[in-house]
Structure 1
Amino acid sequence: MAGRILVLNTGSSSIKYELVDMRTRERPARGLVERIGEERGRLTHHAGDGPPYVREGPFPGHGEGLDAVMEAFEMAGPELDPVAVGHRVVHGGTRFTEAVLIDDEVIGAIEELAPLAPLHNPVNLTGIRVARTAFPGVPQVAVFDTAFQLTLPPEAYTYAVPRDWRERLGVRRFGFHGTSCAYVSRRAAAFLGRDLAGLNLIVLHLGNGASATAISGGLSVDTSMGMTPLEGLVMGTRSGDVDPALGGYLARVDGMDARRAESALDRHGGLLALAGTGDMREVRARDDAEARLALAVYTRRIRKYVGAYYALLGRVDAIVFTGGVGEHDAATRAESLAGLDRLGIAVDPALNAAASPDERAVSPPGAEVAVLVIPTDEEWEIARQAVALIGP
């Protein structure tokens, strides 16, 4: 592939981007717009070896954030002349099983799926529309987080709900973080010197969004997120698992409608609800009752899923931590696996505490189950899939 791929990873409260040269594997530019919608928004743009270009927010929405990204390239370089733009799209339903070239029909389909990922698909579309305007005639490629999870067997994706809901309304488990899982599972196999086809892995993608995925032979066989990204682990602002009757209870006792309840669980739950902030770094910096409870709830939920997926897989070769929290928070890794020694799962305190940007094992040498930290690279995975689609 001659030229460079611009990758836009537009998340619920952030925009990650990279300019990727597929010939040299170099990254001429990369950056992050974080805390979109908050007062303390910030853009950090890296180009070359000099100091980063920084612009303080706020960025009220993703449109303003993407405008700031384009401005950063103009101000700090390099010249932005991509041969393709790759977009992370969270929800592709059952329609999109692989990366696709974006046209008006694809945009319409992503829009139709927005109710299933209300925090993500709309902002993914914002990124697509801004890029189509900024780069007319340049191929735009959508890479779907749900695509990797479509290998779930029926007993994993089927909810025990009325047949009409399942058949007419399409109610089922989809799962997310597939782009990250695809990348780190391959890297874990390479790190272990094993064939991915023979490995059983539990991938813990812990960031503002968080999920656990059971992978056997390179295929997803179960995952904690469900029909939407709300189910499963405790996250930055999302509650994760709650009693399905909660919405009905709130309607009866407080007159709360479904839209308001869903928004609260999506935007005001998780660590934010328990500790007043959705940023794990800020929670870890405190030592008060609310912060301690938030951390206990967060790591206990992870530990429960690890145990469940161990039972489901029957044998686990490695547990893989990735995502911002998974890669950088040693305490979360240790607390999430505490007490699992009888399952062959342990964390070496010294290895775990040693800060490193590299792929590494944090389990004791010779451990029955390897505990790995594999930095995710969703941007590279999106660029790789984009190139595979549009060809040389």
Structure 2
Amino acid sequence: MIVASTASNAVFSLAVQLLGLVTLAPSAFGVFSLQYLVFALGVSVGLSTVSEPWLRTDLMKGHRSSWPDYSSALLYLSAATAVVTLVLSMIVPGLEVVAVTGAIAAGAGVYRSGARYHQVRTERWRLVLAADAIGVFVTVVVWAALFFATDLDRLLTLSLSWMIGGLAAAAVAQRPTLQRPRALVVWYRRHREHIVPLLKDSSLMDVGSIATPFAVAPLLGLADFGVYRAVSNVAAPVRLVLNPLRPVLAGAPLPTFRSVRRIVLVVALSIGFGAAAAVALLIIGSLDIELGSLTALTEYAIPTGLFVSANFLTLFYYMIARAHLSGNALLAGRIVQTVFAIVLPISGALAAQLSGAIWFYAVGTALSGVFWVIVVIRGRTSPAADLTSEDDLLP
């Protein structure tokens, strides 16, 4: 079930990013990426304020908040994400045409992400698989119908398919319960001891991964920014394999991830993903295939492969740290990663424009990955980690 669930979620999440990568010109993809970054911010905040505090409270105290409480907090966050996306889209030139569709898609996606986390932890696999399958099917069918049978703008075509597919997947999830806004205060008080350190950590992460692209965009221009963001999207399969496994990895005992054997295995997997990405880009470039922003990226196959490898290593050990380590250990790791994520890409863009931004982005991510391995090996555990055992590993 875990393998099927991970695969279905990977395909669902990859669909929109891949369609945008291969059908949008770099300038259009750059504009779309700004909107997608707000959605990513919503997912990040949801993990730190709803999903992971709920999980850590369960691990530490054996107390699991009810679905009405969980889903209500998630709904308010989803609505906030939609509003922020709408406002940004009305301000940024080129996004006005997809302001409403993108806002709805972002809100639905944040809700679906949080609901899926809950369903994986409570082992409601049928709902998980059904929602992912329906989301993929609707997204691809709507996109194909609009792309081949209409003359709609490609950006609008992508946004409509993202919105409708996201709504379809969210509709299959368990029905939410909307409580009064006061329920948010209750939720915060109940989970404060976990929300505060997790939110501090994710805020630093978001500065590096979300705020920095907004700073790099005016330095590069929209067309080059689209290519720069394509680097991150090539690593999407890595994130899409690991992200659905967050609840599973969180339940595994920490010593497992500190062993030399496990570290070597993770590094080998990282190199494999990176090599595959670089080779794929080199093949696309040699065959002179026109695939939108992806074709423009073939010139940077080597640094892109390095980034993909580093992204796997970083994300894997960061997830372990989030689930098991103390707030101080998380903060130390995140500060170092944030410095790399901000200083290096901006410095690269200032020094050598697009080429410099991509190379420095890849090197900074690699340095972050090495540091997270060190943090997991040497960092102090939280009380939640002391309670984990083999029995906590989800089937």
Normalised to the residue count of structure 2, the TM-score between the two structures is 0.30
Give the structure with the higher percent strand: 1
Give the structure with the higher percent helix: 2
- Choose between structure 1 and 2 for higher RCO, CA contacts under 8 A separated by at least 6 residues: 2
